[in-house]
Amino acid sequence: METVKLTDAQRKSRRGRNIALGFVLFGLVVLFYIVTLIKFGNGMAN
Amino acid sequence: MTVIDNHEAVGMEGVARLSEASARDYFELLKPRVMSLVVFTAFAGLVLAPGHINPFIGFIAILCIAVGAGASGALNMWYDADIDAVMSRTAKRPIPAGKILPQEALAFGLTLSAFSVIILGLAVNWLAAGLLAFTIFFYVVIYTMWLKRSTPQNIVIGGAAGAFPPMIGWACVTGAVSIESIVLFLITFLWTPAHFWALALFKMGDYGAVGVPMMPNVCGQATTKKQIVIYAVLTALIGICPTLLGFASIGYGLFATALGLGFVWYSIGVLRMPETDERMLPAKKLFAFSIMYLFVIFSALMADHLIVNVWLNAGSIA
């Protein structure tokens, strides 16, 4: 498999994108968790 | 270890093309300034709608509408990268600037579109999700791919895409589309031509260079200016409809009338602008006023709604 060495700029930008993606994924986990609580809460109240 | 990808820039054949795009470049693909307007009008739809929505579900609704609007912006930039590279206003966007590849923008836009629609459907309701999906489709396929490069009426019909957010916000709360939400839709829909044609007047050279048939380039300045006045009048009239239909107070109606007269006043300034005027100050003033108009009219509707509700609640308690 042919590979390349990343430049500093490429490594830095990739790290930045990965961190942003990590935040987005964590945000989605929290979002689904809270929505589930709200939906279950409403279901039980009804 | 990084696998070499297949994308090769012109003049860089045989050299691996690895992205140096930052998260900020991807954020720029979402057209944040347009997104702020969408968030604001969608929020207005959410506030004005009768009924109650859980604040967190309301937050998710706004988030999904914003991301959906951003996704359609990314797809627009993917499709329009060729003309964006030529126009001064858009040449620094991430794709023409060489920061992001078109296919990366396409994948980004499609992914966000799917996520925003599905999450809105699961968390809020499927009517709102359907409207959001239709809005993205309308902006990308109907406006960007079809109308934009084929007719001077492009932004009149395409403006519907930008007008849907308050209707989606309303649907998030009520699960329905009603006459009130259609009026909110019409405010932005009728506002769009005067707003965009003011811009098209002082950016005529840009649009002409890339062959986009904007009204001033195809039908001339005189016709454009007359149509700007007509749409400004229609915007002013629809702006007072919430009072006429009974979902805003007379106070709002008076305020909207004054604001609408201001809009018409600035549009008449454009009508009087000589064709030899190269600075086109009246068109620039109308463009600036139009942005302010939309923010203020929706703010006034929300303020009126809150004041009337507080008044009614105080009355019922007494």
Give residue-wise pLDDT tens across range A19-31.
Answer: 999 999 999 999 9
Mean pLDDT of B105-126: 97
Mean pLDDT of B168-187: 96
Chain A hits for B57, Cβ within 8 Å: 35, 38
The minimal CB distance from B18 to the residues A2, A6, A34 is found for A6
Best residue of A14, A23, A36, A37 to probe chain B, by most B CBs closer than 10 Å: A14
Reply yes or no on whether the pLDDT at B11 is more than 50.
Answer: no
DSSP H stretches of helix in chain B: 23-29, 32-48, 55-79, 81-84, 102-123, 126-137, 154-174, 179-202, 204-210, 215-244, 250-271, 281-317
Provide the pLDDT for residue B317.
60
Give the whole-number percent of chain B exceeding pLDDT 90. 75
Mean pLDDT of B36-47: 94
Q: Can you count the helices (H) and strands (E) in chain A? A: 1, 1
Chain A hits for B21, Cβ within 8 Å: 13, 17
> Would an 8 Å CB–CB cutoff place B111 in contact with chain A?
no
Provide the pLDDT for residue B15.
52
Close Cβ partners of B49 (under 8 Å, ≥ 6 residues apart): B169, B170, B172, B173, B174, B180, B181
Chain A hits for B4, Cβ within 8 Å: 2-4
CA of A10, closest CA in chain B: separation in Å?
A: 5
Longest Cα separation, chain A = 60
CB atoms within 10 A of CB B51: 10
Report ipTM (2 d.p.): 0.84
Does A13 sit within 8 Å of B22, measured CB to CB? yes
pLDDT tens string B235-271: 999 999 999 999 999 999 999 999 999 999 999 999 9
Does A2 sit within 8 Å of B23, measured CB to CB? no
Residue B19 CA to residue B257 CA, distance in Å, equals 52
Reply yes or no on whether the pLDDT at B39 is more than 80.
Answer: yes
B174 vs B8, more confident: B174
Residue B24 CA to residue A35 CA, distance in Å, equals 28
Q: Among B36, B62, B37, which Cα is nearest to B49's? A: B62
Does B60 sit within 8 Å of A35, measured CB to CB? yes
Does B16 sit within 8 Å of A4, measured CB to CB? yes
